[in-house]
Amino acid sequence: MFSLSIKEMTFFKLKYLLIGFILFFVAALVFIISGLANGLANDNASSMKELEVTNFYLAEDSENRLDRSQFTIEQAEKAKDASAFGVQMQTTEKGKDGKKIDSTFMTFENKKLLPTIIEGKMPQNANEVIVDKTMQEHGVKLGSVLYLPSVEKKVKVSAFTEHFTYSHTPVIVIQPALWEKVGFTYNALVSTSGTPVQSIDGDWSTKEDVVAQIPGYSAEQSSLNMMLSFLIIIAVFVLGAFFYIMTIQKVQQFGILKAIGAKSKSLIRTTMLQVFILSITSITLAALFAYILPLFMPEGMPFVFEPTVILSYGAALFAVSLIGALISTISIVKADPIQAMGRVE
pLDDT digits (tens, 9 = 90+) for 265-279: 777 777 788 888 888
Q: Are 207 and 37 in contact (CB under 8 A)?
A: no
pLDDT at 325: 78
Over residues 125-148, the mean pLDDT reads 89
Over residues 197-209, the mean pLDDT reads 77
pLDDT digits (tens, 9 = 90+) for 151-200: 788 899 999 998 899 988 999 999 998 888 888 889 988 876 655 555 67
Alpha-carbon distance of 317 to 279, in angstroms, equals 8
Strand ranges (E), 133-222: 145-148, 153-161, 165-166, 169-173, 188-190, 203-206
Query: 318 phi and psi, to 5 degrees?
Result: -65, -45
Is the per-residue pLDDT at 285 higher than 90? yes
Alpha-carbon distance of 57 to 180, in angstroms, equals 19
pLDDT digits (tens, 9 = 90+) for 100-119: 888 999 999 888 888 989 99
Helix (H) / strand (E) containing 321:
helix 307-328
- The rounded mean pLDDT for the chain is 82
Over residues 202-217, the mean pLDDT reads 85
Helix (H) / strand (E) containing 24:
helix 13-50
| pTM of the full structure | 0.76
Is the per-residue pLDDT at 341 higher than 70? no
pLDDT at 287: 94
In sequence order, which residues have a C-beta less than 8 Å from that of residue 115 and are 6 or more positions away? 47, 50, 130, 161, 164, 171, 173
Is the per-residue pLDDT at 329 higher than 80? no
pLDDT at 345: 45
Q: How confident is the model at residue 244 (pLDDT cuts 50, 70, 90)?
A: confident
Over residues 242-248, the mean pLDDT reads 76
pLDDT digits (tens, 9 = 90+) for 41-87: 888 888 888 888 888 888 888 888 888 888 888 887 777 778 889 99
Q: What is the DSSP letter of 293?
A: G
Q: pLDDT higher for 260 or 174?
A: 174
